[in-house]
């Protein structure tokens, strides 16, 4: 039953994709700006829908960060609308032709940037993701199928309906954006098997969701995700700089994937570095879980266990360990890290280059906070997520990562000899 | 049991990948040239191993094309060795830094091209694939895990052993290339679940194998494959050119994925085009399966059924249909095609552009044979396969498609405000 319903959604999405893929930039931007206005005008309706979700969340006993992420207000709706206007203002990546070249036989061969087609996104609580994904997909000529969490269903539906009304009012097929109304686990599973219609599936949410999608999907997946990020303070580090970078990486926003979870310190500087950086962390309200030497040099540190090295706390907690060399630091990162964002603080040229070369991660930093791994900070103006896998896209994904290419070949009668 | 064995292989591969990823171009090229010499020197041993496979194939009752693909001789081994030398002579894509830019806060952000890490390949009969994949992977700094078919096991093992001997003799870890000795279905299934160690899995073989991998793999897959390719002869086509292109697309090598399987003809030119192109096809030994009008205009044509439009014959057979418009041709291609290679023959500028724009396929041609969809013909000097999916790579994949990127970020103390 659910599979049939999801199949119908997929079929409609595919059909709409042929129209959306060929809308001009102007037409797509008009939709985005129209939706931005529409959201502002419908603020009262969206807030009423959000109230329903919040009342249900209260009944379900949800609390804290989840409820915060779920909550909309006039200010947040304004922010969502502005986000769509910003996407409209970005360059359209679709249509660019790359690497056009003439072959010896006269064939002109180029790669043309084109939409993926149909993008599926499975996500949790935040209703702003609905508008963000809808906006990014329309800008890139992609039809989207959105499967949000049941806790945000009414809010998501209110937002998607405004997209659909604006699209219809301009004479296009509203199925360019569809919300899956069935929010059971079955609907998520059905989407994972929809490779006839979906070109790509992006899970956005906790580790459990991402694992389930990677394990069950027959649709190509872009894995976003887990960030067990390290800062390594090398023997030659400027300790003032190191302190600022460690504290910023840990505390600027502890609940996100590019926050640092672990501190590695070169033994040659440990005696000075650990008290200094440790105190700054403690002053910032961070619990430090250290190895023996860290605990010895920082009396308020707690003893770390093996499990700590592998933990993404997403909280005011950091693990800390002394290493005897750059190589040991890198080996530790490869053993426990999640290949997201890794930073070295050093004043040694060769060590900086060695770390950049050897660390296998989406983003590798010298002398900077891990918190910069972000589409906006990288200058992409928008972000659909941060890929921690190696295929198609790695690191922050902007508009371009929602496109693929096709070869276009201009001939004048060439046949193969 | 099998899973444990495959896990061990994966673990060794991952370990070797850290060494191989950082070998210089010179060192990698020396390995490739060394293997080329080694293969020539070991010709007698390889042929003896191949004899065993052929004897077994004979017992198993294998015949025809499979046996031909399986058969090695001195000439073929020479060709394999030359292929490795050619790969050695190509530019190394690893290490290139793309799009390095300075952000307003002074961070220098670039994308560095790096190896994928560990590449798994599941393939059938051809022993030359063993050397090709081994060569392409070493050149791109990727460790490979090869799971060939049991019918070619002895030949594959002889080839892989030469790679391993050469790698060892240069003081490197021979696990840079490993052949899975268990050739049961279980070993293929175990590889599909090895996402802890494999960064990518490429199935090379028939539709059944590719489907099984897409459906069961938790490792990111690059789908290669099925080619139900069309040539559309537009109303304004130069019929001499069209005839050559259709015959070449169909008969140059009918058993491969970029061969044309279906001919579409605009109604406005059907009366002239069908007898002319049809006769050329029949003269080339091709069976034509047409719709009513085709059969009316070409008496030796057979009646096509619905099933024919969806069939990749890989043989001297072509389906043929008259369409009333360019739009109908494109709709037919989208309904029955496999998004591989599609060609229009036309002298109309607008129709050429419209076809290039609208047809959703890996390679879209104007006035050229579909047979050009090939890494060598596109100028990549080598080919690991032809991707028919949209993620990461689409169309012919050369060395670059065996790499990914990581962001490298140079800072001088930046923290996030």
Nearest to B364 among A361, A368, A406 (CB): A406
Strands A302-303 and A177-179 come out as: unpaired
**One-character DSSP codes across B74-125:** HHHHHHHHHHHHHHHHSPP-TT-EEEEEE-TTS-EEEEEEEE-SEEEEEE-S
Task: Please answer yes or no on whether A404 and B416 come within 8 Å at the CB atom.
Answer: no
Retrieve residue B214's tokens: 């897409």
Predicted confidence at residue A224, as pLDDT, reads 84
Q: Of the candidates A44, A92, A97, A51, which has an alpha carbon nearest to the alpha carbon of residue A70?
A: A51
Q: If you count residue pairs, one on A and one on B, with CB atoms under 8 Å apart, how many are there?
A: 189
Among B194, B253, B368, B410, the strongest candidate for a mutation testing the A interface, having the largest count of A CBs within 10 A, is B368
pLDDT per residue as tens digits for the range B119-145: 999 998 789 999 999 999 999 999 999
Contact A120, A108 (CB under 8 A): no
Predicted confidence at residue A24, as pLDDT, reads 96
In angstroms, rounded to a whole number, what is the distance separating the alpha carbons of residues A176 and A145? 8
Nearest to B404 among A368, A390, A404 (CB): A390
> Residue A361: helix, strand or coil by DSSP?
coil
Least confident among A126-140, B195-209, B297-311: B195-209
Contacting residues for B240 by C-beta, under 8 A, at least 6 apart: none
Virtual CA dihedral for B357, B363, B366, B369, nearest 10 degrees? -160
Strand partners, B396: B386
Task: Please answer yes or no on whether B416 and A361 come within 8 Å at the CB atom.
Answer: no
Q: Of the candidates B7, B388, B8, B11, which has an alpha carbon nearest to the alpha carbon of residue B202?
A: B388
Nearest residue in chain B measured CA to CA from A405:
B394
In angstroms, rounded to a whole number, what is the distance separating the alpha carbons of residues B111 and A394? 10
Predicted confidence at residue B370, as pLDDT, reads 98
- The pLDDT of B297-308, averaged and rounded, is 97
Predicted confidence at residue B64, as pLDDT, reads 80
Nearest to A389 among B114, B220, B357 (CB): B220
Task: Please answer yes or no on whether A394 and B404 come within 8 Å at the CB atom.
Answer: yes
Task: Please answer yes or no on whether A366 and B411 come within 8 Å at the CB atom.
Answer: yes
In a 10 Å sphere around its CB, with 0-12 CB exposed, 13-18 middle and 19+ buried, how is residue B292 labelled?
exposed
Q: Of the candidates B344, B399, B357, which has an alpha carbon nearest to the alpha carbon of residue B90?
A: B399
Nearest to B395 among A222, A356, A407 (CB): A407
> Residue B236: helix, strand or coil by DSSP?
coil
DSSP 8-state secondary structure symbol assigned to residue B384: S
A408 to chain B, closest Cα gap in Å: 5
Predicted confidence at residue B62, as pLDDT, reads 87
**What Cα–Cα distance (Å) separates residue B134 from each residue in B76, B163, B209, B234?**
17, 8, 21, 44
In angstroms, rounded to a whole number, what is the distance separating the alpha carbons of residues A43 and A263? 44
Residue ranges for chain A with pLDDT beneath 70? none
> Residue A215: helix, strand or coil by DSSP?
helix
Chain A hits for B140, Cβ within 8 Å:
none
Strand partners, B113: B405
B247 to chain A, closest Cα gap in Å: 9
Task: Please answer yes or no on whether B379 and A195 come within 8 Å at the CB atom.
Answer: no
pLDDT per residue as tens digits for the range B33-58: 999 999 999 999 999 999 999 999 99
In angstroms, rounded to a whole number, what is the distance separating the alpha carbons of residues B90 and B81? 15
Helix (H) or strand (E) holding A111: strand A108-115
Retrieve residue A103's tokens: 């072959």
**What Cα–Cα distance (Å) separates residue A31 from each residue in A44, A75, A137, B207?**
21, 22, 12, 41
Contacting residues for A353 by C-beta, under 8 A, at least 6 apart: none
Among A347, A415, A417, the strongest candidate for a mutation testing the B interface, having the largest count of B CBs within 10 A, is A415
In angstroms, rounded to a whole number, what is the distance separating the alpha carbons of residues B92 and B180? 27
Chain A hits for B367, Cβ within 8 Å:
410-414
Number of H helices, E strands in chain B: 15, 16
**One-character DSSP codes across A251-268:** HSSTTSTTSEEEEEEEGG
How many Cβ atoms are within 10 Å of B325's Cβ, its own excluded? 14
Contacting residues for A327 by C-beta, under 8 A, at least 6 apart: none
Predicted confidence at residue B206, as pLDDT, reads 80
Chain B hits for A252, Cβ within 8 Å:
415-416
Contact A389, A202 (CB under 8 A): no
DSSP 8-state secondary structure symbol assigned to residue B301: P
Virtual CA dihedral for A293, A296, A299, A305, nearest 10 degrees? 50
- The pLDDT of B102-111, averaged and rounded, is 96
B60 to chain A, closest Cα gap in Å: 34
Predicted confidence at residue B283, as pLDDT, reads 97
Task: Please answer yes or no on whether B414 and A367 come within 8 Å at the CB atom.
Answer: yes
Contact B406, A361 (CB under 8 A): yes
Chain A hits for B390, Cβ within 8 Å:
116-117, 199-200, 220, 404
Task: Please answer yes or no on whether B407 and A379 come within 8 Å at the CB atom.
Answer: no
Task: Please answer yes or no on whether B406 and A414 come within 8 Å at the CB atom.
Answer: no
How many Cβ atoms are within 10 Å of A205's Cβ, its own excluded? 18
The pTM score is 0.91
Chain B hits for A416, Cβ within 8 Å:
248, 252, 369, 371-372, 377
Strands B260-266 and B317-323 come out as: parallel
Strands A403-414 and A395-397 come out as: unpaired
- pLDDT level of residue B223 (50, 70, 90 thresholds): confident
Nearest to A369 among B334, B367, B416 (CB): B416
Chain B hits for A117, Cβ within 8 Å:
360, 390
Chain B hits for A389, Cβ within 8 Å:
220
Q: Which structural domains are found in chain A, ordered by start? A: 2-223+393-410 (3.40.605.10), 229-372 (3.40.309.10)
Task: Please answer yes or no on whether B18 and A415 come within 8 Å at the CB atom.
Answer: no
How many Cβ atoms are within 10 Å of B249's Cβ, its own excluded? 28
Nearest residue in chain B measured CA to CA from A116:
B390
Contact A340, A259 (CB under 8 A): no
Chain B hits for A391, Cβ within 8 Å:
199-200, 220, 222, 391-392, 404
Contact A321, A330 (CB under 8 A): no
Strand partners, B114: B404
Q: Of the candidates B131, B317, B129, which has an alpha carbon nearest to the alpha carbon of residue B224?
A: B129
B383 to chain A, closest Cα gap in Å: 16
Q: Is the dihedral of CA A177, A179, A185, A187 positive or negative?
A: negative
Chain A hits for B24, Cβ within 8 Å:
none
**What Cα–Cα distance (Å) separates residue B60 from each residue in B56, B70, B72, B180?**
6, 13, 18, 21
Among A189, A373, A413, A417, the strongest candidate for a mutation testing the B interface, having the largest count of B CBs within 10 A, is A413
Sequence-ordered alpha helix ranges (H) in B229-311: 239-251, 270-283, 292-297, 306-309
Nearest to B378 among A18, A109, A410 (CB): A109
Task: Please answer yes or no on whether B363 and A409 come within 8 Å at the CB atom.
Answer: yes
- Is pLDDT of B225 > 80? no
Retrieve residue B97's tokens: 């830094």
Predicted confidence at residue B50, as pLDDT, reads 97
- pLDDT level of residue B65 (50, 70, 90 thresholds): confident
In angstroms, rounded to a whole number, what is the distance separating the alpha carbons of residues B69 and B67? 5
Q: Of the candidates A32, A201, A18, which has an alpha carbon nearest to the alpha carbon of residue A120?
A: A201
Helix (H) or strand (E) holding B266: strand B260-266
Predicted confidence at residue B226, as pLDDT, reads 85
In angstroms, rounded to a whole number, what is the distance separating the alpha carbons of residues B5 and B191? 10
**One-character DSSP codes across B314-343:** -SSEEEEEEESSHHHHHHHHHHH--SSEEE
Contacting residues for B41 by C-beta, under 8 A, at least 6 apart: none
Q: Of the candidates B126, B124, B134, which has an alpha carbon nearest to the alpha carbon of residue B160?
A: B134
**What Cα–Cα distance (Å) separates residue A56 from each residue in A63, A288, B29?**
12, 38, 64
In angstroms, rounded to a whole number, what is the distance separating the alpha carbons of residues B142 and B187? 21
Chain A hits for B241, Cβ within 8 Å:
413
Contact A118, A197 (CB under 8 A): yes
The CB-side HSE value for B24 (13 A sphere, CA atoms) comes to 2
Nearest residue in chain B measured CA to CA from A218:
B215
Nearest to A407 among B362, B390, B414 (CB): B362
Nearest to A390 among B117, B394, B395 (CB): B117
Task: Please answer yes or no on whether B413 and A241 come within 8 Å at the CB atom.
Answer: yes
Q: Of the candidates B207, B133, B215, which has an alpha carbon nearest to the alpha carbon of residue B402?
A: B133
ipTM confidence score: 0.92
In angstroms, rounded to a whole number, what is the distance separating the alpha carbons of residues A137 and A13? 12
Task: Please answer yes or no on whether B390 and A358 come within 8 Å at the CB atom.
Answer: no
- pLDDT level of residue B244 (50, 70, 90 thresholds): very high
Nearest to B369 among A117, A357, A416 (CB): A416
């Amino acid at each position: 039953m659910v599979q049939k319903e999801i199949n119908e959604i997929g079929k409609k999405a595919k059909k709409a994709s042929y129209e959306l893929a060929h809308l001009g930039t102007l037409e797509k931007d008009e939709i985005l700006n129209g939706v931005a206005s529409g959201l502002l005008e419908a603020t009262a309706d969206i807030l009423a829908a959000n109230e329903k979700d919040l009342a249900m969340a209260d009944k379900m006993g949800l609390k804290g960060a989840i409820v915060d992420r779920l909550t909309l207000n006039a200010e947040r709706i304004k922010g969502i609308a502005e986000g769509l206007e910003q996407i409209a203002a970005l360059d359209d990546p679709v249509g660019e032709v790359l690497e056009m070249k003439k072959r010896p036989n006269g064939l002109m061969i180029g790669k043309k940037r084109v939409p993926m087609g149909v993008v599926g996104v499975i996500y949790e609580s935040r209703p702003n993701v609905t508008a963000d994904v809808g906006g990014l997909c329309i800008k890139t000529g992609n039809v989207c199928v959105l499967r949000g969490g049941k806790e945000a269903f009414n809010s998501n539906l209110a937002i998607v309906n405004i997209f659909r009304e604006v699209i219809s009012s301009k004479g296009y097929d509203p199925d360019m954006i569809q919300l899956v109304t069935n929010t059971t686990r079955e609907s998520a599973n059905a989407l994972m098997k929809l490779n006839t219609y979906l070109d790509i599936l992006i899970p956005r949410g906790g580790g459990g969701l991402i694992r389930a999608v990677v394990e069950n999907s027959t649709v190509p997946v872009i894995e976003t995700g887990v960030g067990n990020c390290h800062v390594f303070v090398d023997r030659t580090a400027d300790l003032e700089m190191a302190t600022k970078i460690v504290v910023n990486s840990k505390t600027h926003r502890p609940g996100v994937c590019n926050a640092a979870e672990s501190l590695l310190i070169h033994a040659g500087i440990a005696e000075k570095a650990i008290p200094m950086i440790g105190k700054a962390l403690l002053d910032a309200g961070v619990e430090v879980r250290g190895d023996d030497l860290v605990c010895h040099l920082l009396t308020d540190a707690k003893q770390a266990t093996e499990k700590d090295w592998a933990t993404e706390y997403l909280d005011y907690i950091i693990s800390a360990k002394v290493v005897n060399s750059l190589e040991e630091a890198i080996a530790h990162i490869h053993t426990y890290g999640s290949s997201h964002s890794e930073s070295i603080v050093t004043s040694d040229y060769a060590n900086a280059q060695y770390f950049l070369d050897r660390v296998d991660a989406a983003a590798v930093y010298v002398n900077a906070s891990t918190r910069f791994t972000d589409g906006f900070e990288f200058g992409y103006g928008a972000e659909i997520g941060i890929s921690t896998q190696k295929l198609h896209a790695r690191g922050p994904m902007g508009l371009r990562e929602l496109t693929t290419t096709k070869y276009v070949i201009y001939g004048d009668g060439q046949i193969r000899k």
